[in-house]
Chains A and B, each alone.
Chain A
Amino acid sequence: MSYIDLVDDTICALITTPGLSGISVVRVSGKNALSISRKICPFLKSDVESHRVYLGRFKTAQGEIIDEGLVTYFAEGQSFTADETLEFSLHGGKACAEKLLQELLSLGCRAAERGEFSFRAFYNGKIDLVQAEAIHSLIKSRNDMARSQAVGQLTGVLSQQMDKIEQGLIHVLAQLEASIDFSTEDIEPYSLDKMKQSISEIHLQVEQMSSGFKKGRILTEGLKVVIAGAPNAGKSSLYNALLGQEKAIVSAVPGTTRDTLESTYSETGMPLSLIDTAGLRDSDEEVEKIGIERALQRLEEADFILFVLDAANEDSWDFQPVLHKLEKTVFILSKLDQNPGTEEIYTRKIAKVLNSQPLHRIFLTSSKTLVGIQGVKGFIDTKSLVDIHHDEALITQHRQHSHLQKCSNFLQRSLDLFDKQASYDLLAIEIQSALAEIFAMLGKEFDEQVMDHVFKQFCIGK
């Protein structure tokens, strides 16, 4: 069942972090919010005012005192969700809040689902889709920069930039339509050249925004660092050494790691995912094969790859898996304790196999003696720092990125059409398609599935 089937329910949830905190806040929202709350707050006068705080004792139906605290009333249309809302501030700790929630449920409230408050704000027209997603990012954000990005989106910086793209496309489309429908009249719409120029400019804006996704994603989801290499190259040892814990099982048997392992940590305040993968080799063994497929998948998604090479076993070097990903690959020479050498020697050896210039970044390490591990760590940390201007609004959602990319493709296709005797009717459909992507991104189009997908990501209570 989708949220929109349930907007007549009155919902409630704890909206502060559960656990030990100074105060807890419980929100009740929906058409019966006030009448239900009155049963708990007998002290509320008949003429409660919106945005006013009332002090009193919260009681159960049996007259038992739950807590003494504050309750704030938000009238319909004036709350976050736009539905009638009350927020209870109670003493911290689990007991009071749970008691209150139980009482609310017994009075006919329903526990809010993930993201349901935000859904209602969107549904009631208080926020647009991009802002709704920003709230989601804000809740998830693990660092200051991500938070400021989310705030930027929430205040609509991103929406404003999208608006500009939307308006630009509508303008071009209007010019195009005018030169179709009014070609026999005395008017002068854009020339084809001018139209092409306008589309190029919009295309560039879309591309810029789309490319910002990489930064935006690193901010909210963290940098994805994937450790890969041949079996028994020492990937899991490196993984453990970088994490400073024995997370992965290490053995001398090739193929010990069968599935991918993932750990998130933060040294710099920026989130980072470190991923260990199964050794890459031809295998007939069913389970190992699945592990290898997953490893290859991880390589595609990686922001960068630590490709581990056994310094003691040059015969095992196989660069095939990273051949087309060299720009995001760093080579880690492992087991240096067994086969010492200099950085220069190994750089040249790798270049020789790759048949290229010796320009690749390499680190000489030993997970046993921890030589070189700090260097790798420092390198990852610098990579995880993203340089962002304070007025830059980055897209942080895959959904947004996918629409922008499609929009960009349609615009590219329309530019191609200009090069081969543009037919106006076809040009129009490319631009309409591009515009449809922007509409979809902004949630201006009706699509129940998209809505549900977006709101399922939300955290309860926000």
Chain B
Amino acid sequence: MFLSSFVLESKMSEKFDMIVVGAGHAGIEAAMAGARLQQNVLLLTTRLDRIGYMSCNPSIGGLAKGNIVREVDIMGGLMGRVTDKTCVQFKRLNSKKGPAVRGSRAQCDKDLYCQEMRSVFEKHRYIKLLEGEAKSLVLDGDLCTGVVLEDGSTIHSKTVVITTGTFMRGVMHMGLQRIEGGRVGDKATVGISDQLAENGFTVIRLKTGTPPRLLKSSIDWSKTTPQYGDEHFYPFSYSSPKQTVLPQIACFLSYTNQKTHEIIRKNLAFSPMYTGQIEGLGPRYCPSIEDKITRFADKENHQTFLEPEGLTTDSIYLQGISTSLPEEIQYEFLRTIPGLENVKMIRPGYAVEYDCVEPTQIWSTLETRNIKNLFLAGQINGTSGYEEAAGQGLMAGVNAALKCLEKEPLILARNEAYIGVLIDDLVTKGTREPYRMFTSRAEHRLHLREDNTLERLFSIAEKHNLLDDEYRKTLAGILERRQKLSATLRETKISPTEQTQNKLKTMGTMPLLKQISVADLLRRVEINFSDLVENGLAETEEEVVSESVEVEIKYEGYISRQLGLINIAKKAENIKIPIDIDYSGVRGLSREEVEKLNRIKPLSLGQAQRISGVNPSAIQAILIYLKLHKAERVAHGNRH
């Protein structure tokens, strides 16, 4: 209370560099990035006690998402370090499927996560927190200069970042009941999406859902199977301790059955998805239980994980059973699941419908095309997931700050980061369902690994001053040790002496034919770094240093092949397309292609290639046009 009133007093007189509307996973990173660049940031949220609240599952990370968390961390973000601090179960997914497709996932204590986040902001010299709702944007022509609050007061700023998640015209559905709001206990925000629509934005409706939360004491745990996390912890942030701070807990596995399915099937008429009450498109990869039993009717059961939402809370998250059936039907089918015979719900599952902006209307900087100095990040751009939101928030924050500083924007390339893939996909392809990151979306997957995030992004973060001095030094130190180890392994030679050959024999690998480097030996499938250390061929090193070096050496051949592919792609990427092209003047394009290209206005031929529905022959046509166009420009220039 003290805090918000303090800000309220000063808000009329003070002009901010950035206002961030919403303090979810996107807003947090946007505000933090702005602050790192020494911009005065106002962080506006409807609830100060829910900063960085996990509205859905209690986990951060996962396949491809774990990579994003690590990228955010190297770029000075908060998600990784706070996740490490509040982690109650850690898993490295796909650990046996190859280093490029591994993903770290941490289950967290939800309450502690919010507390940790809030404490960061409460003491920050560049960030002011304010509880309140932004009703509309202050527009000066096509320029955004601030926001108007619920009480009618106006706050001015150079830039505005909107990260309102599912709150824009959010409607919750449970059975045939409709409640306005973006999340249980929170009201919806209205006004901004109408204002965006008035200013020429296409606003689309998406849907998502969340499963019931169960009362811990009402569950018969003996009928479920405990699932433990990994022994080994790989912190998301290099600033975190090597071990988890909090005690580690299990989650519990159970299954639905035919009885469960029968009840759901019988009551589909009460599911708003099936009655047509919900218009928004939901995510295909995260179907509700209603969807699962309808679309996969042959499947006899579906797994569900019972995940505690924290160490002290009574709330259990029922992973995999998202539903919007009426409460009494939820009770009926839940009680057919082993362990849940007498279950009590703290809160039933529900579906949320919300407005988002068709993301092809924003630039790669996340600034909108129609309104200058207005940036959008997170679910408002059609994504789902905390990590996708955080990655966008970070970039929107960085670019809003760079704009305030009148500096060149920062755009991460598709071969530099998952964040680059994410934003490029959104602004070029758009999305029709909530967008989630997958490793397969990254054509440069072998390079975009968790273990080499530092190598990929450190120099960019350093150049843009996104790191505090202490962390910058830590990262530079690790990077230096890695480079040193890599050089040593490559420079140290071993010769086919009798002693060496015997050693190799005990290591279970082929003898040498000629002198090779230790790195060459490490490339063999059966040899890993610890074998080298055990046999005195390399000095012992911490895993945080050795792992990425080992993977890099082993994958080198493949990585260079992929870099070859990257270079081919870059050829098209390097052919820039001027923004002022009118595609209706380009010969050989279909009407659909003209419409899409005129709307998206790709910045490079590579980006044009990725637009769905734009055929290879269209790319040829654009290239010709560009050549002619260029020739015209040159000719024009010569006349003057």
Interface residues, chain A, with chain B CB atoms under 8 Å away: 4-5, 7-8, 31, 122-125, 177, 179-186, 420-421, 423-426, 428-429, 433, 436, 443-446, 448, 451
Contacts and interface: CB of A to CB of B under 8 A. Distances in A.
Interface of B: 62-64, 93-94, 97-101, 285, 299, 302-303, 320, 438-440, 445-446, 525, 555, 558, 561-562, 565, 572, 587-588, 605, 609, 615-617, 619-621, 623-624, 627-628
A316 B609 CA distance: 63
B619 A446 contact: yes
Contacts of A122: 617
A183 to B, nearest CB: 6
Contacts of B558: 426, 429
B623 A448 contact: yes
Closest 10 CB pairs of A and B: A425-B98, A423-B98, A425-B100, A424-B97, A177-B440, A181-B438, A125-B617, A180-B101, A4-B624, A425-B101
Contacts of A445: 616
A436 B302 CA distance: 37
B101 A420 contact: no
A5 B628 contact: yes
Contact of A426 (B62, B94, B98): B98
Interface centre among A185, A186, A420, A433 (most CB of B within 10 A): A186
Given A5-B627, A180-B101, A123 B64 contact: no
14 contacts: A8-B628, A123-B620, A124-B617, A125-B588, A177-B438, A180-B439, A181-B439, A186-B303, A424-B94, A424-B97, A425-B99, A425-B445, A425-B446, A429-B446
Given A5-B628, A8-B587, A429-B558, A125 B615 contact: yes
Given A183-B63, A186-B303, A444-B616, A4 B623 contact: yes
Contacts of A446: 572, 605, 609, 616, 619-620
A5 B94 CA distance: 49
A433 B561 contact: yes
A429 B443 CA distance: 9
A181 B64 contact: yes
Contacts of A177: 438-440
A185 B438 CA distance: 13
Nearest to B615: A125
Contacts of B98: 423-426
B617 A123 contact: yes
Contacts of A179: 97
Contacts of A182: 285
Contact of A184 (B63, B609, B616): B63
A5 B62 contact: no
Contacts of B445: 425, 428
Contacts of A124: 588, 617
Nearest to B588: A124
Given A123-B588, A124-B617, A429-B561, A183 B94 contact: yes
Contacts of A424: 94, 97-98, 101
A213 B562 CA distance: 29
Contacts of A448: 623
A184 B302 contact: no
A41 B350 CA distance: 74
Contacts, number: 90
A7 B587 contact: yes
A295 B440 CA distance: 50
Given A177-B438, A177-B440, A429-B446, 8 more contacts: A122-B617, A125-B588, A179-B97, A183-B94, A186-B299, A423-B98, A426-B446, A433-B565
Contacts of B97: 179-180, 183, 423-425
Contacts of B100: 425
A177 B627 CA distance: 38
A161 to B, nearest CB: 21
A31 B587 CA distance: 10
A220 B572 CA distance: 35
Contact of A421 (B299, B302, B525): B525
A433 B568 CA distance: 13
B569 to A, nearest CB: 10
Contacts of A423: 97-99
B604 to A, nearest CB: 12
B588 A7 contact: yes
A127 to B, nearest CB: 11
A387 B617 CA distance: 37
Chain A CB within 10 Å, residue with most, of B100, B302, B616, B621: B616
Contacts of A429: 446, 558, 561-562
A121 to B, nearest CB: 11
Contacts of B63: 180-181, 183-184
A408 B525 CA distance: 23
Given A7-B588, A446-B572, A184 B93 contact: yes
Nearest to A442: B616
B640 to A, nearest CB: 24
A38 to B, nearest CB: 22
B446 A420 contact: no
Contact of A186 (B320, B438, B620): B320
A193 to B, nearest CB: 16
B559 to A, nearest CB: 9
Nearest to B436: A181
B624 A7 contact: yes
A453 B320 CA distance: 54
B440 A184 contact: no
B440 A5 contact: no
A269 to B, nearest CB: 38
A7 B302 CA distance: 58
A446 B438 CA distance: 25
A4 B617 CA distance: 11
Given A423-B98, A428-B445, A429-B561, A181 B440 contact: yes
A222 B520 CA distance: 47
Given A181-B440, A429-B561, A433-B561, A4 B320 contact: no
A128 B555 CA distance: 36
Contacts of A451: 620
Contacts of A180: 63, 94, 97, 101, 439-440
Contacts of B320: 186
Contact of B302 (A186, A428, A444): A186
Nearest to B526: A420
Contacts of B619: 446
Nearest to A178: B440
A122 B98 CA distance: 41
A384 B448 CA distance: 53
A183 B64 CA distance: 12
A425 B616 CA distance: 28
A4 B620 CA distance: 8
A122 B620 CA distance: 11
Contacts of B562: 429
B616 A443 contact: yes
Nearest to B437: A181
A446 to B, nearest CB: 5
Nearest to A451: B620
B166 to A, nearest CB: 23
